[in-house]
Amino acid sequence: MSTRRYWLYLVVLLFLAGVVTVWKAPFVARDASAGQPTASSQEKKFYMVTGEFKGRYQGKKLEAYRWDPGMIVVHQGDRVHLMIRGVSGKEHPFSIEGYNVRGNVRQGHMTHVSFTANKPGTFQLICHTHPTAETNGPMIGYIVVLPR
């Protein structure tokens, strides 16, 4: 198999992984506080899911791990509530870099974490089971905090 064909199949697998995740969890990427005024700090709620997809192509194991949505955007000072449902994968222990936030998402359960986005920047939501390519990752989401 050519390298080009291998990468094409991998891209298709990742695309399908995203489609399956949305199909399995109809509330993906819904910001429950959308449409409210942005003049001051807000309560922001986000529903997320875990996605873990495995397959084989010509004897090679292909895996993809992801948070959906893969990125959320809030403003500095917002109180952020993440409700993360474990759709696939036994468990995903995680932390949010730059914030003292840790949790563990287990399949079939909802995990709730909250924090105040008190510093602007881009922060990684990282699964400690799949942090690198050597562990079939990375499984990283991003929290973008915009300055007020």
Task: Tell me how far apart the alpha carbons of residues 55 and 39 are, in angstroms, rounded to a whole number.
Answer: 47
pTM: 0.69
Could you report the per-residue pLDDT of 44-99, keeping only the tens digit for each? 999 999 988 888 888 888 878 899 999 999 999 999 999 999 988 788 999 999 99
| pLDDT for residue 148 | 87
Spatial distance between the Cα atoms of 127 and 91, rounded to a whole number of angstroms: 9
Domain 3-146 is of which CATH architecture?
Sandwich (2.60)
Among 12-21, 39-48, 109-118, 119-128, whose mean pLDDT is lowest? 12-21
Q: Rounded to an integer, what distance in angstroms lies between the CA atom of residue 101 and that of residue 115?
A: 7
